A and B are shown apart, each in its own frame.
Chain A
Amino acid sequence: MGIIILLLFVAFVVCMLVLKKTNVAYENFQRCKRGNVYIENADELIRREKIVKVVRYIICYAFLAALALFMILPFYWMIITSLKTEVEISLVKPTFFPKEFAWENYKYILNIKNYQIETSGSIRFNLWRLMYNTLVVGFFSTLGTLVTTVMAAFAFSRIKFAGREIIFTLFLATMMIPGEMMVISNYITVVKYMRGIDTYWSMIVPFLISVYYIYLLRQNFKQIPDELYYAAKVDGTSNFKYLLKIMIPIAMPTLITITILKLMGSWNAYVWPTMVTQSEDMRLISNGLRNSFSDSEGRSTQGRQMAAATAVLAPLLIMFIFLRRYIMRGVSRSGIKG
């Protein structure tokens, strides 16, 4: 795979160099004296130009297609492998398409059973329990984050008070600090002082705040003209009602983006939940997935592994299909200078 990409890369560069050569014609006519007929062989030039254009398009599309293949190949291989039988997986020469669809891996993954330990000694992947945990944590941490974010963004964008800029700068500065600095002490705080091992709230409370989302929403709030506020004041609207009835509806697209990103974050949370959970019953989905297949059991469980991975990815992919616009907008905005 890497070699193919490298070859394409080289081809791309070579093509760029070839394009450089075609400028020779232009140089020639530049050297002619003014007033002379200076475009010789216009037909020839036009023909060559067309060829170069076509070649360039072909290379461009080939380059993109090859990389696009590289991008979706893991998804393809995951689904294909999950549908193969154990026998087919252990073939010396792997097949690129299952000979027959085997649903046994999915039957195993989707089956609800209460035991955690397989007969082989490894931890059983308990999809429904893990999903339930993740949804509980995701729902409450998203809700809480929205509340803190909206309130903080309102204060930072609309209320003028002493120290506002200092606090905001302080908040922003923490975005530069690696989270690992906090995780160690937070672990002590939650485990020792709050006795939060194996509780939902220990996975929710520390993540009820996000400086980045506050920043995002503040920028959005700031764009709302002051006149709207004065108009609401004249009509006798209170600050809180103004926030609720006017600012939040206007900033709805941003709030939806925040909600989606936060939910995706919970779905993918791995580090912290691993630290504060011990019982397999309290794991979130990423931990459960990792722990269930962690010991090298060889190729025999590949099918189940891939079925589990597919089951974990499916909700994300469904969300992506329906909410692509919001996700891409939220992500691309982070690259634009505020």
Chain B
Amino acid sequence: MVEGKKSVNFLRGILYLSPALILMAIFTFYPLFNTFIISFKEEYNYMTGKYAEWGFANYAKLFASGNIFRTCLVNTLVIVFVSVPLSIGLSLLIAVALNSIKPLQKFFQTIFFLPYVTNTIAIGMVFSVIFESHQGLANAIITEFGGNMINWLGGNIQATTIGKGFLDPNNAIFTPQWLTSMIVLMVYIIWNSLPFKILILLSALQGIDRQYYQAAQVDGTSKLRIFSKITVPLLSPQIFYLLITSFIGAFKEYTSVVAIFGNNAQSVGQRNNMATVVWYIYKKTKEGGTTMGYAAAGAVVLFVIIMFFTLINSIISKKRVHY
């Protein structure tokens, strides 16, 4: 600890912190409050600074029927509640499997970490090529096994369309086409999020005292019980950490959507049917004119939702997580 008089140390501390403090003030703290304020200004024009009046008009319009924001919210919630549990479950299985082998462990570990070091846009384009509705790799594999091609991203009338039974093809957004596009998106999001989770879980697994497993072995515990009664509880801090971070990450899903479906976030024929909340925010920010208020309101809604989930998570974790 640096010695010195209190006043001198205060100056010294502020001096060392000053670059960080100034940048944080301009690019983090000020915008945070400013965005809140903008969200309450109706018809706010950011270039002139003029606005019609204060109130909740922006929020009301967001949730008004017919606004694309509703679609965005539904899409985002679907992404969150499907991709997060799936990817955490899958990465847990992979981590446990990786931890139980010896030869080739490092090799597999490297392969499973590879997607972490990628460009989301580039690989997203690869996925849209793989799931191309005519003779992309996915359809090639399916036809190889005698199945019929699937109309993944639309545009192939001869291909099978999944979900015809329960999704109305005439719905504005949630058509069978939406379903297959969502599946493709989900596969990509999970593929993209596995490496981080596997790495975290694997290094946590390797940190667990071997004696717990030896004790369980001596007691004749089955592998399934060891997994559910010992491994998972001992990993609960990491699982909880992953749960919170991937919830937040999934709520902010944007780049992967743009990567596969382009800047308009649409699969063939339908306008913005794959849009997410963050896509909406950026779209409205860039549109210029008086749409900034909607973007701000959307951001505040996102913020509230994330805070809400984080809060619920931490309440649950108090009961469930064993530190």
Contacts and interface: CB of A to CB of B under 8 A. Distances in A.
Interface of A: 1-2, 5, 9, 12, 16-17, 19-20, 23, 26, 56-57, 60-61, 63-64, 67-68, 70-75, 77-78, 81, 91-94, 96, 147-149, 151-152, 154-156, 158-164, 167, 171, 174, 176-189, 192, 205-206, 208-209, 211, 214, 226, 229, 233, 239, 264, 267-268, 270-271, 274-275, 285-286, 289-291, 293-296, 299, 302, 305-306, 308-309, 312-313, 316-317, 319-320, 324, 327-328, 331-332, 334-337
B117 interface: yes
A296 B155 CA distance: 11
A268 B119 CA distance: 5
Interface string B258-291: 1100110000100000000010011001100000
B232 interface: no
A248 to B, nearest CB: 14
A75 B138 CA distance: 14
Nearest to A312: B122
Interface stretch (B59-67, B163-171, B234-242): B234-242
B13 A319 contact: no
Given A20-B224, A23-B222, A178-B302, A64 B126 contact: no
B114 interface: yes
16 contacts: A9-B93, A12-B93, A78-B122, A147-B19, A162-B10, A182-B27, A189-B31, A206-B27, A267-B119, A286-B122, A308-B122, A309-B126, A317-B117, A328-B199, A335-B238, A337-B241
Given A19-B224, A159-B9, A335 B27 contact: no
A226 to B, nearest CB: 6
B2 interface: yes
A335 B242 contact: yes
Given A12-B93, A289-B122, A337-B237, A183 B282 contact: yes
A185 B101 contact: no
Interface stretch (B77-85, B127-135, B208-216): B127-135
Contacts of B182: none
A289 B187 contact: no
B98 interface: yes
A80 to B, nearest CB: 9
Given A158-B1, A335-B242, A181 B35 contact: yes
Contacts of B120: 268, 270, 286
A331 B282 contact: no
Contacts of A294: 262-263
A159 B16 contact: yes
A296 to B, nearest CB: 8
A68 to B, nearest CB: 5
Contacts of A12: 93, 97
Interface residues of B, number: 112
Contacts of A186: 27, 31
Contacts of A229: 1-2
A220 B137 CA distance: 46
A304 B122 CA distance: 12
Contacts of B6: 161-162
Contacts of A309: 119, 122-123, 125-126
Contacts of A328: 113, 199
Residue of A68, A178, A186 with most chain B CB atoms under a 10 A cut-off: A178
Contacts of B233: none
B218 to A, nearest CB: 11
Contacts of B296: 184
Given A184-B281, A184-B296, A152 B241 contact: no
Nearest to A240: B16
Given A19-B224, A63-B97, A178-B251, A71 B112 contact: yes
Residue of A5, A20, A71, A312 with most chain B CB atoms under a 10 A cut-off: A71
A77 B126 contact: yes
A306 B223 CA distance: 44
Given A155-B17, A181-B35, 14 more contacts: A20-B223, A74-B123, A162-B6, A178-B252, A181-B32, A183-B281, A184-B35, A187-B285, A226-B1, A275-B282, A295-B262, A305-B125, A308-B122, A309-B123
Contacts of A160: 1-2, 9, 13
Nearest to A19: B223
A158 B306 CA distance: 34
